Amino acid sequence: MTQGERVREARKKLGFTLEKFGERIGLKKNTMSAIETGRNSLTDANIKAICREFSISEEWLRTGSGNMRIPIEDEAAAAVSDLVEKSNPLYDVIKGIMVAYQKLDGPSREVIDQFILDAIPPKDSPPMDPYSEAPATPEELEEKYHPVNIKKDVG
């Protein structure tokens, strides 16, 4: 199996289109197609980007030996330890979240990525006021969260 065929196998296993896979590593759809079909060779930079972005084993991508994916637990533990001291009580929680994220397919990761990006205000925006949408009076609270009104909003 060629490097291009291994790229195709990894991309399909992760659930990405040529376009979405290429976007994640800075390549266009036609460039990805040329790599997968063998018209273009992978550069060292492409290999590093694919391995970093998709947790692909560099040895597997280059030679075909070993496992395709870096063990998720090892990758998550390394990433968490870079961010959080192991003595932090949230270390295991953060590691668990990262392991779960790594197990997601490409489209599911994109949904989570967008959710996180939507939750982060732009740098130039004023600080968020967590109470800005809270009802001002008990009556407004009751009106907003009354079961009849909730059903109206949902259905």
* pLDDT, tens digit (0-9, with 9 covering 90-100), for 93-140: 877 888 888 888 878 888 888 888 887 777 777 666 666 667 778 888
DSSP, collapsed to helix, strand or coil, labels residue 56 as strand
pLDDT computed for residue 153 by the predictor:
44
Q: How many CB atoms lie within 10 A of CB 61?
A: 22
In terms of average pLDDT, the best of 11-15, 40-44, 83-87 is: 40-44
End-to-end CA distance of the chain: 52
pTM of structure: 0.51
pLDDT above 70 covers what percent of the chain?
A: 75
Q: How far apart are CA 106 and CA 1, in angstroms?
A: 23
Residue 7 burial by CB count (10 A; 0-12/13-18/19+): exposed, middle or buried?
A: buried
pLDDT computed for residue 89 by the predictor:
73
37 or 88, which is more confident: 37
Q: Which two tokens stand for residue 151?
A: 């059903």
